[in-house]
Amino acid sequence: MAQWIAVEPEKWYRMLHPRPVVLVGSCSDNRCSAMAASWIMPVSRSPPMLAVAIAEDRCTYSLIRDSGQFSVMVLPWSRVRELHFLGTVSAYEDPQKLEKSGLSWVEGKRLSVPVCLEALAVAECLVENDVPSGDHRTIIGRVVEMYAKPGIELGDPSTYEVPLHVSGSRYTKPEPNAVRVELG
């Protein structure tokens, strides 16, 4: 019988880290913000849908709630400092947060959402549902537009070096060599 040791309750979610960290952005009424988010996952292949857990006190949450739309952006590992900045400063404290991030911003192709030009991949989403989930809300979004930089194989760590969030201000990057598992 294996021997287990208790996990501190406040650290339970770390069993699901490290995990990809993205930017989630939104605009409403001429106000915009974008924040780091690592609690994000795909939930439907077709139609394409994703879910992201966002605490209600994030400025980005209020913009998503008011506009019903948001962007999801994957930054390269080389932009992890900018990502961390957007994950530690709130637009409630600094409305110039996007301008100060060191990234370049344009409007989405289809929706009025902030898109940063440095992103490797971008999904523009419409809110399908906003579900209370403990100390966060789970926003379920339908992807209505999606694009990526040329030369990238999405999901392949040799060309798609997505920052992974360990905890706090600690990050790691994926091992570039994917291993194929053969059964039988």
The reply on whether position 54 binds ligand FMN by CB under 6 A is yes
79 is an interface residue for ligand FMN by CB under 6 A: no
Q: How far apart are CA 162 and CA 137, in angstroms?
A: 24
Instruction: Kindly report whether the peptide bond that precedes residue 47 is cis, defined as omega within 30 degrees of 0.
Output: yes
Applying CB under 6 A, does 50 fall inside the site for ligand FMN?
Answer: no
Single out the residue of 18, 20, 68, 87 in contact with ligand FMN (rule: CB under 6 A): 87
- Residue 132 CA to residue 37 CA, distance in Å, equals 17
138 binds ligand FMN (CB under 6 A): no
Q: CA–CA distance from 149 to each of 61, 77, 86, 110 (Å)?
A: 27, 14, 22, 17
Per rule CB under 6 A, is residue 22 in the interface with ligand FMN? Answer: no
Taking the complex as a whole, the smallest distance from the CB of residue 67 to ligand FMN amounts, in Å, to 13
d(CA 145, CA 55): 25
Q: Nearest CA to 28 among 67, 69, 76, 75?
A: 67
Site string for ligand FMN, 89-108 (x = CB under 6 A): xxxx----x-----------
CB of 144 to ligand FMN, least distance (A): 22
Residues that bind ligand FMN (CB under 6 A): 21, 33, 35-39, 53-55, 58-60, 84, 87-92, 97, 136, 165
